[in-house]
Amino acid sequence: MQKGIIYGDSLLKATVPEADGKYKFHLGEVMARYGDAAAMVTNRAKFGATVEKGMALVQHDLTRGTDAAWALIGYGGNDSDYAWPAIAADPAAQHLPRTSLARFSQVLADTVALLREKGVQPVLMTLPPIDAQRYFDFFSASLDRDALLTWLGEVGVIYRTQEMYSDAIAAFARREDVKLIDVRRLFLPDHHLRDLIAADGIHLTLPGYHRMMDALFTGVAAL
């Protein structure tokens, strides 16, 4: 396998919530499954990262120089999220995702163009699905749930918003002929999907990370 770099958020650090509410990274444990191939990959994922932070990191690395043949770009989860305390405080106001879908799509396109300009093959991935109810229960524990639901209308909006960002990634990849690893389709048909999604509704369990990383390593190994 050729050398590569992973850019993304906490999903790509194999982050799992603990019983005390803190998060633990299981990246070393997950990557150990891939032996020598794992040594060919530099992981630059950051907890809480958005596509704009990702592009800044890509620019920084490319300016310093890289011998990577490919770069995986895995953002969208944090971009599609909302400032829930602000919504709870004023549900009648207009609230937008952390990164608008239009801005997300533009920065993703700019990042892909920058990588191509420097001779690094961009690789995109769709987002694994979330469990909207679990996530709502997780983040709303200390907030006004009635206010949040007044704004949301229904909890399913959270799932659909995240799905729009995943769909935008897939559409862009196909339109611009960018290598796409369709992680989402490997999760959605599973009748025991809830076993693959962590208690906070947005991260994965270890079996979920194994499935995601298997798909990613298979995808980049073919480059």
* Per-domain residue ranges of the chain: 4-221
Q: Is 30 exposed, middle or buried (0-12, 13-18, 19+ CB in 10 A)?
A: buried
Question: Which residue carries 């983040």 as its tokens?
Answer: 139
The residues pairing with 121 across neighbouring beta strands, listed in sequence order, are: 70
**Which residues lie below 8 Å from residue 155, measured CB to CB, with a gap of 6+?**
132, 133, 136, 149
Say whether 42 sits in a helix, a strand or coil: strand
Q: Are 51 and 107 spatial neighbours (Cβ–Cβ below 8 Å)?
A: yes
Query: What is the pLDDT at residue 1?
Result: 85
Query: What is the pLDDT at residue 24?
Result: 95
Query: What is the pLDDT at residue 118?
Result: 96
Residues of the chain with pLDDT below 50 are none
- Tell me which CATH homologous superfamily contains domain 4-221: SGNH hydrolase (3.40.50.1110)
**Which residues lie below 8 Å from residue 86, measured CB to CB, with a gap of 6+?**
93, 95
Query: What is the pLDDT at residue 19?
Result: 84
Is this model's pTM higher than 0.85 or not? Answer: yes
Query: What is the pLDDT at residue 192?
Result: 96
